[in-house]
Structures are given as structure tokens and as C-alpha cells.
Amino acid sequence: MMKPDTCLRAERVEMFQQYLSGAMPHQEQEEWEAHYFECADCLDTLESHRAILVAVKQLGPATNAKFVWTGRAKFVWTGVAAAAMLALGVSLARHTPQIARPVTSAPVELPVAAAFAPGADAMSTTDARARAVAEFARFEPPAYRGGTSRAVSTDTMRQFRWAMSAYQSGDFAAAARGLHPLAGAGPGAAEARFFLGISELQLGHTDQGIAELRAVARLGDTSYLEEANYFLSKALLSKQDVQEAERTLDDLVRIGGDREHDAQALLQKVRDLRAR
Amino acid sequence: MTTLSADEQQVLAERIRLGDRDAERDFVALFATRIRAAVWQRIRDRETARDISQDVLMSAISALRQDRLEHTERLAAFVYGIARNLANNYLRTKARSPQWVELEPGMLVADPRIEVDALERQRLAAQALQDLEPAERQILHMTLSEGLEPADIARTLGLTSEVVRTRKSRALKRLVERIQAMSRSVGPGPPSQ
């Protein structure tokens, strides 16, 4: 039933779908847009329809592949659909760069132990090792807890804050775009480059991410030196460059400090894996 | 019904003309999502739409600061006009290349809350979708994702077109109501800087 204080247009489902699909006639589109520029109800409803469209497309195959129409009244699971879902899951686990996953994605459990069990053949062992290394490479983007760049101009700080707001909201593309102009020399460069590097890694731009983190490390004794080296080792692992990752972790352990134990633990995991 | 009144539009325009920076922030909060929606509808490219939306906001604020809007009671129509024109200009020329839009001192036009709100709404939509009947989800998927007409869906599912249309419409209404209800219970996002 229509809510008494709601704009009448906000009840017209077909209109929103027609608009979002780009099928609305030109004149009608302009009238409708002029309307929602003034009407909060219609804007709210429009944005909800847009979110539904995105969600349906994102959930689509994963959600609906579970169901097969068997008549006029019900959907049931089938073995074929279940097998297809399983195959898709395995395929994604093998080919998706783990560090490029969005912050909110659910972790994928990799059957590392099972793959190294007695009886596993040589090919599956190599494959499982690569997957285990990829698993070690995964990380949650480090939280940004306020600026350390004090000696920068107001405009630069404003741009940095904007970029870091995007970073905090998980929009790594916007964060990278905002941080890139700030990653030159000068105060605050280490901080900007560090988060630029992390953002690039989150976007799946591994080489750019590695370049930025290396640049932070080259800046020397900044407050981001250890963090940069730690996430650099993760990025190297994601490229299966285990030797270089081990060297970076070794350096980090030698430096000591906040990341020493994390580095030591990761190094141990990598060496255990190599020893199997 | 929450329509922006002529008085509200006039007052907001006047505050900006008088140099009230809070009013400029209110202006951005009020129009940024609307502008992005209208520009996106034409451009269909996230980054370009974002850049053009920035330009629209800056052009509108600049015009208001300089008292170049005669009928301030029609502020929304004025802003929409700028959005439509800049988006159409872009489509006509295709000459624009992605660029960083300089921020004016004291003004932050790209409000990250827009992105956060959109993501939050998508999360709520995904959650609400899980509560639909499988058949309704299937119909929405076939309609919105695969772009099939009700008649095609009806043939595939062994239903009539009318049933498909009704179920789709009912499911969408329920989803929108659910999202809006959940959104109200979650409350607004964090304040901008």
C-alpha cells in the first residue's frame, strides 16, 4: 500500500527500471531528472533501484545457479549445479589475485594441508604450494589512523584527507588517484606513497604497488619503513617471488621493531612450506 | 513528500551568494548524488562521471557566488541544467581526458559519503535479495542482469507474461521498501570532514 506522504512517482517501479536501463524516451528522461533534482523521495527510491541492479548483477550467477526450474512451482538443487559451483570456486581460488580482493570479501579457505597429504601427486603439490604462497600473500589493508604529515600546505593536506577518506571507505581507485600527485618528494611523501602502494595492491596493480612500497623503503628511516617492507614481502609473495620475499622479511627481522614478530612468523611459514 | 520548496532553494542560493561556506557544504550534500545520477545516466563511465560531476558542482557554486542566477527559487532546475549540458557537451566532443580537478581553498566538493552511501545501499540490497523467494530472484536476475523481456522469461519458466510482470514489480517494491527501512535503522553515515 502506498505510504500517504510519499511522492506518487516513487511508487512507479517500471519508471525507475526504464530510466536505469536507458530505455526512457529523451523528453520523459529530462522531465524525470528535473523532478528528482527537487524530490528527495524519488532520489532515494532511484538510488535503491540502482543498488538492487548492482546487487542482482553481482549476486546473479552465484545466487541463481543454485536453482533449476523444474516446473511451475519450485526450484531444487541438482548435483550438476552443485558441481558447477564447486568448480567455479576452485577456479577462482586458483586464478584470482588474493590481494586484489575487496576489504569486505569473505576469506577463501584453501585446502593447503590436504594438498600436501601423503598420496598427493607432484603436480598437485606444486599447484598447492603456489596456492599456499598466494594465501600467505593475502592481507587486510592496514587501517589509516590519522595523519603524521604535519608540515604540508593546507591544500595538500585537504587532498590527502580526501584521498584517505576514500581509502577508509574501501574506494582504492579514488584513493590512488588522490594520492598519486602527493607521492613526490617532500614532507608526507612516505605516508602518501605507502597508502598509494597499498591501494595499488588492492586494485590488483601489483607491480605499481611494489614500486611504491620500495620507494618508501628507499626513503630510509621514516615511520613507514617497516610497514612498507612487510607489505612489500606480501606483494612479492603474491607474485610467487618467494626468494625476494624471504630476503625482505629477513631484513625486517634484522631491523627489529613493531613488525619483527609478524615478519618472523611469515618467514617461518614460507620456510616450512619450502621444506615440505 | 519531501520536495525542495522554492523558499528553501532561494535561501540556499542567497547564503552561498553571501559567502557562507557551510551553505556550500549543504549545497554539495544536497545535489552531489542527484548530479552524479544524471551524469552517470548519460556517460556510463564512473571516473568520467565523477569528474564531470565535480565540474558541475564547481560551476554552480561559482555562478552562485557571483550572483549569476536570476531566479534563485529555481536553483534545482539551474543545477540540473548545468549537469545536463556538461554531460551532453562531453558526449558531443568526446575530447575530455581524465584529469584531476583542482579544489578551491576551503571547499571539498568530492564528498566520500556519496560513495560510502552507495556501497552501503548495495550491501543492504544484497542482504534484502537473500530474503526473496528463489523464483522472484530468478525473475529479477533474468530481467535486470540478462535483459530478458517478460515474455521470454515466461516461456522459460512456464508462466504467463502477466505473472512475470507482477512478480517482478512486487519483488522490486518489496526490496526498495526493505532497503529504505534498513537504511533508516542503520542511520546516516559518518560526517564529512
Q: Which ipTM score applies to this complex?
A: 0.85
Query: CB-hemisphere CA count at 13 Å for A190?
Result: 20
Instruction: Find, in chain B, the residue whose alpha carbon is nearest to that of A41.
Output: B2
Mean pLDDT of B43-66: 90
pLDDT at B150 exceeding the cut of 60: yes
Matching residue, cell 542527484: B34
Matching residue, cell 599456499: A132
CB of B1 within 8 Å of a chain A CB? The answer is yes
Query: CB-hemisphere CA count at 13 Å for B69?
Result: 27
Put simply, the chain A residues between 43 and 72 with a CB less than 8 A from any chain B CB are 43-60, 63-64, 66-67, 69, 71-72
User: Do A162 and B156 lie within an 8 Å CB cutoff?
Assistant: no
- Euclidean distance between the first and the last CA atom of chain A, given in angstroms as a whole number: 65
User: Do A64 and B193 lie within an 8 Å CB cutoff?
Assistant: no
Distances (CA, A) of B13 to A34, A237, B7, B74, B83: 18, 55, 10, 10, 17
Q: Which of B1, B38, B180 sits opposite A33 (nearest CB)?
A: B38
Specify the pLDDT at position A118.
44
DSSP A102-165: -TTSPPPPP-HHHHTSTT--HHHHHHHHHHHHHHHH--PPPPP-S----SS-HHHHHHHHHHHH
Can you tell me the distance from the alpha carbon of B188 to that of A106, in angstroms, rounded to the nearest whole number? 25
Closest CA to A36 of B167, B40, B146: B40
SS3 of residue A39 by DSSP: strand
pLDDT along chain A (276 residues), means of 10: 58 88 91 93 93 85 37 35 39 34 33 40 66 85 64 65 79 85 74 92 90 86 83 91 90 78 88 81
pLDDT band with cut points at 50, 70 and 90 for residue B188: very low
Q: What is the DSSP letter of A267?
A: H
CB of B97 within 8 Å of a chain A CB? The answer is no
Specify the pLDDT at position A211.
92
- Angle among Cα A239, A242, A245 to the nearest 5 degrees reads 90
User: Do B41 and A22 lie within an 8 Å CB cutoff?
Assistant: yes
Please tell me whether the overall predicted TM-score, pTM, comes out greater than 0.90 for this model.
Answer: no
Percent helix, strand, coil in chain A, to 5, is: 65, 0, 30
User: Do A58 and B4 lie within an 8 Å CB cutoff?
Assistant: no
CB of B99 within 8 Å of a chain A CB? The answer is no
Can you tell me the distance from the alpha carbon of A259 to that of A241, in angstroms, rounded to the nearest whole number? 20
Can you tell me the distance from the alpha carbon of A98 to that of A201, in angstroms, rounded to the nearest whole number? 10
Distances (CA, A) of B123 to A12, A142, A196, A250, B33: 23, 22, 26, 41, 18
CB of A156 within 8 Å of a chain B CB? The answer is no
pLDDT at B106 exceeding the cut of 50: no
User: Do A159 and B103 lie within an 8 Å CB cutoff?
Assistant: yes
Specify the pLDDT at position A261.
84
Can you tell me the distance from the alpha carbon of A233 to that of A229, in angstroms, rounded to the nearest whole number? 6
Smallest Cα distance from A136 to chain B, Å: 28
User: Do A48 and B108 lie within an 8 Å CB cutoff?
Assistant: no
Can you tell me the distance from the alpha carbon of B80 to that of A36, in angstroms, rounded to the nearest whole number? 10
Q: Which of B38, B115, B144 sits opposite A56 (nearest CB)?
A: B144
Q: Which residues of B touch A102 (CB under 8 A)?
A: none
Q: What is the DSSP letter of B109?
A: -
**Residues A157, A179: contact at Cβ < 8 Å?**
no
In the numeric block, which cell numbers belong to residue A44?
532515494
